[in-house]
Chain A
């Protein structure tokens, strides 16, 4: 999500540059452009030498693996390698679409993404507003500081804490349930609880960090607005509703669009730790399937096909939300 934001800026720059270039194109002939380009090349050769390691990195570790996608259309054999393995066309895709796993993975990926958005998108907005309303500066600063703490912890540690807290034997949550006369719940092996656990751990570890953007937007609100509101007899709750929320709405909408665009990019690092055979029916998503069945199970062709399918869907979704956002608001990635 953060990546998308700088991309907004970069992409805009690229656009401007290419527009300038196209204006120039009309005036200068092709030949003189080639000469100019050659001179520019000579002039910036030192810069290009500096850039060389980066270029090699991008070609080798970002573009070369794209060639490897070919094995999605092949019957991959480790002895023959990527280029010599026999073609099987869409065989891997057919197998995948016809297997019962396909529908389950599709549903799980979408639902986990959807519930995550539903809960973890509003949480930092509300948190930022509550923080902003606090009149005890020390408390505000303290809670803000503490709220960043979870994002400094690794996925493994966060999951470990969640598993400890949810343990049916002596976990804090189950002790509370028992205190109120309930029966202990086996959270980690009940498929119906998985999404809740996923969303809740995400809320604990992400809310503080995500609220930073909104807190910045809140500090930009003109205090005179609140004063004017007070003069007009506006209470605190009403000024939150009529001043605070409208003021940060543009930021909120931009973030929402970015989030919707990446709804399918489910955080599978966390799922790989939290799920187990008992909860596959709700927890298994495309990327965990690629890891488990593809990489660990040695079905490289199938795994790559599933991964490709997932990336293409994600890319389409991003382009779509971007187009919609450009129509509705002025924010877009390109």
Chain B
């Protein structure tokens, strides 16, 4: 079979195959490079020898970032913010999307207009900061979670999912005497698992990778999530200030890359499974060609 395929292989096929292999390499290599640098020793990193595999393999960088509290604490903060954030997102999204999906809701079109408008115009960074600060939420987890409790775009996705559920299901539940609360909790929520998986993935990625909101709203370094700590390592290059005792045989670069690798672990773990939902999420809003 391979032979017959090769016979039909034209110059164009070879060009395309080479381009695709090249592109695959370009997409993958930076991630791979980050991993191998984190396992390499100082001499080879500074000399620029590390290319395709770790040179002078060691786990010193990992030992170092785990030896003081900074990265583990940030990791815990990230897990906390992500868990609470995703829960708040999902419940608020479902609670808002469901009533808006019901045709008999009072004021539905007005509320929809009111919500759609916020997609095009917002108060902006500073009024939002003043609001969060006047609510006394600065420097707490709520400053990150609540101001973005609903992502309008994701809410609309869930809403159109609810609208696709047949009306008859609703009617029969109604005849059986179920209240809207019960219909919502016992029929709609269990039914919306696939929709939750899709938008939930985006919530997870959003919280796990978020750095701007924590940077704006959190002042206490002990509350920083991983991404803010990474940003500090990157921008201020302040590794030296925080880890006064960097061993001679360790570069800040190896430490930074080790931190990146540990921060990527959960994302890499879900990536193979999440892809399906990711593509679905991207397609849901797509225009029909």
Identify the A interface with B (CB < 8 A). Answer: 2-3, 5-11, 13-14, 17-18, 21, 37, 40-41, 43-44, 46-51, 53-55, 57-58, 60-69, 71, 81-82, 127, 130-131, 133-136, 139-140, 142-143, 145-150, 152-157, 159-161, 163-165, 169-172, 175, 204, 208-209, 212-213, 216-217, 220, 236-237, 247-248, 250-251, 254-255, 269, 272-273, 276, 287, 290-291, 294-295, 300, 303-304, 307-308, 311, 315, 318, 331
> In the complex, what residues of B have CB within 8 A of residue A2's CB?
153, 282, 285
Residue of A14, A53, A81, A248 touching B96 (CB-CB under 8 A)? A53
Q: Is A153 in contact with B267, judged by CB distance below 8 angstroms?
A: yes
Closest 10 CB pairs of A and B: A65-B123, A68-B127, A54-B96, A170-B48, A154-B209, A46-B180, A307-B124, A251-B289, A217-B289, A51-B99
What are 11 inter-chain pairs, A to B, with CB distance below 8 A? A2-B282, A7-B116, A54-B96, A58-B115, A135-B9, A136-B17, A139-B24, A146-B27, A154-B263, A155-B209, A237-B12
Shortest beta-carbon distance from A312 to chain B in Å: 9
Binding site secondary structure of chain B: helix
Binding site secondary structure of chain A: helix
Residue of A213, A294, A303 touching B286 (CB-CB under 8 A)? A213
> In the complex, what residues of B have CB within 8 A of residue A8's CB?
287
Shortest beta-carbon distance from B140 to chain A in Å: 15
Q: Is A50 in contact with B211, judged by CB distance below 8 angstroms?
A: no
Identify the B interface with A (CB < 8 A). Answer: 5, 9-10, 12-13, 16-17, 19-21, 23-24, 26-28, 30-31, 33-34, 37, 45-48, 92, 95-96, 98-100, 102, 104-109, 111-116, 118-131, 134, 146-150, 152-153, 155-157, 160, 179-181, 184, 205, 208-212, 216, 227, 230-231, 234-235, 253, 256-257, 260, 263-264, 267-268, 271, 274-275, 278-279, 282-287, 289
Q: Is B122 in contact with A62, judged by CB distance below 8 angstroms?
A: yes
Q: What is the chain B residue whose CB lies nearest that of A312?
A: B121
Q: Is B216 in contact with A295, judged by CB distance below 8 angstroms?
A: yes
Shortest beta-carbon distance from B88 to chain A in Å: 10
Q: What is the chain A residue whose CB lies nearest that of B149?
A: A57
Q: Is A53 in contact with B125, judged by CB distance below 8 angstroms?
A: no
A165 to B32, CA, bound (A): 12
Q: What is the chain B residue whose CB lies nearest that of A334?
A: B116
A331 to B129, CA, bound (A): 36
Shortest beta-carbon distance from A25 to chain B in Å: 13
Q: Is B130 in contact with A300, judged by CB distance below 8 angstroms?
A: yes
Q: Is A11 in contact with B125, judged by CB distance below 8 angstroms?
A: no
> In the complex, what residues of B have CB within 8 A of residue A154's CB?
208-211, 227, 230, 263
A81 to B161, CA, bound (A): 43
Residue of B33, B45, B107, B234 touching A159 (CB-CB under 8 A)? B234
Residue of A43, A49, A57, A161 touching B30 (CB-CB under 8 A)? A161
Q: What is the chain B residue whose CB lies nearest that of A258?
A: B287
Q: Is B20 in contact with A139, judged by CB distance below 8 angstroms?
A: yes
Q: Is A44 in contact with B122, judged by CB distance below 8 angstroms?
A: no
